[in-house]
Amino acid sequence: MELLIQNLLSPVVLCFLLGAIAVWVKSDLEIPDAIYQALSIYLLFAIGLKGGVAIAETPLTELVAPVIVTLILGVVTPFSAFLVLKHFGKISRIDAAATAAHYGSVSAVTFLAAIEAAKASELPADGFLPALVAVLEVPGIIVGLMLANQKRAGGIKAALHEVVAGKSIFLLLGGMAIGAFCGPEKIAGIAPLFIHPFKGVLCLFLLELGMVAARRIGDARSAGARLIAIGCILPLVHGLLGTTAGILVGMETGGAAVLGAMVGSASYIAAPAAVRIALPKASPGIYLTLALGVTFPFNLAIGIPTFIAFARFLQETLS
């Protein structure tokens, strides 16, 4: 309960709530699309830079096991999401596959919120975690598109190009390469722009996401109780699995909790872009509503504190 309250009272979550309140009271608050895009570009590139610097400082032997387990989780989670959505959610194969692609991928903003929560809980987190964001982004989308079993010429190929060449992966990998090549000393010169203002920019980004999520509450109601329940259960199950895997491969307590939050999250940047191209018949009212309107706020409020508490419990039990 203390962790839950601590997370709910963090600036990141409160900014998300403020955005939602702005919609509910019908405020004229708006963040122009150009500024929203600039904020997302900044955050993705900054994540990549920090991850690259951490890679430069981390021995390769310490990276191998976390990367392998992250890849495995990126394949397992879309399969489990697909089976649950299709059989329990009672939705079509194409909608189940499209939504599974979102749950197999990762939300970079959930990752950032989890990092801040781990810091607030004074838990050590592995520096290479941003690298795992890039590793987790792609496999789930590929598996989800394959599960759709659509024989549409060029569809999946075009979608995969959208994922790899899209801004999320491009900026993450590009920033990571620059950070790894330059190392901490050279990156220190641009730290006043990309490191120090990071939390403030994240708060502005969450303010906009709060407004977007609040506008989708009506969609969530129409999605039905079964899908809303799935949107809460899947991140919890996947997140606990990811947290356990992180502890077992020797990650720090905070790092394992953050990995759990990543695995339990649902993408709403890279995955929608790929699904829109490869599976045009899939319903955005299902996959976007669940990813952004249900799972994202659930993780901010309940998922992240749960993963942190579970990581602590596992670490104490095994030590």
pLDDT tens column, 255-312: 999 999 999 999 877 788 778 777 888 888 788 889 988 899 899 989 999 999 999 9
Q: Report the predicted TM-score, pTM, of the whole model to 2 decimal places.
A: 0.83
C-beta separation of 3 from 305 below 8 A: yes
> Please, how many CA atoms are within 13 Å of residue 269, restricted to the half-sphere of its CB?
25
String of b and e for 25-51 (b: at least 16 CB within 10 Å)? eeeeeebeeeebeebbebbbbbbbbbb
277: which residues sit within 8 A by CB, 6+ positions away? Answer: 155, 158, 159, 162
**What confidence score (pLDDT) does residue 153 get?**
44
**Quick check: 274 and 162 in contact, CB under 8 A?**
yes
Gap between the Cα atoms of 276 and 158, Å rounded? 10
Long-range Cβ contacts of 168-173 (<8 Å, 24+ apart): 168/44, 168/108, 168/137, 168/269, 168/270, 169/134, 169/137, 169/138, 169/270, 171/41, 171/44, 171/45, 171/48, 172/44, 172/47, 172/48, 172/51, 172/108, 172/130, 172/133, 172/134, 172/137, 173/48, 173/134
Amino acid 196: pLDDT: 80
On whether the 2-14+33-318 domain is CATH 1.10.630.10, my answer is no
Query: Which amino acid does the sequence have at 78?
Result: P
pLDDT value for 263: 97
| 197 vs 52: CA distance, rounded Å | 18
One digit per residue, pLDDT tens: the chain, 319 residues?
566 666 667 787 888 889 889 999 999 998 898 998 888 888 888 888 887 888 888 788 888 999 999 999 999 999 999 999 999 988 889 999 999 999 999 998 899 899 989 988 889 888 889 889 888 888 888 888 888 875 554 556 666 676 667 777 788 788 888 988 998 888 888 888 887 888 888 889 888 888 887 876 666 666 678 889 999 999 999 999 999 999 999 999 999 999 999 999 998 777 887 787 778 888 887 888 899 888 998 999 899 999 999 999 999 998 7
Q: What is the pLDDT of residue 131?
A: 85
| Domain residue limits, the chain | 2-14+33-318
Question: Distance (Å, rounded) from C-alpha 216 to C-alpha 220?
Answer: 6
Give the gyration radius of the chain's Cα atoms: 18
Q: Where are the beta strands (DSSP E) in 157-268?
A: none
- Least Cα distance to 250 among 4, 50, 59 occurs for 59
Is residue 235 a contact partner of residue 71, using CB atoms and an 8 Å limit?
no
Tokens of 252: 């720090």
Residue type, 317: T
Look up tokens 């890679």; give the residue. 55
The neighbour count for residue 181, using CB atoms within 10 Å, is: 12
Q: How many CB atoms lie within 10 A of CB 293?
A: 25
Q: What does the buried/exposed string (b/e) look like for 92-102 if buried means 16 or more CB atoms within 10 Å of the residue's CB?
A: bebbbbbbbbb
How far is 183 from 143, CA to CA, in rounded Å? 34
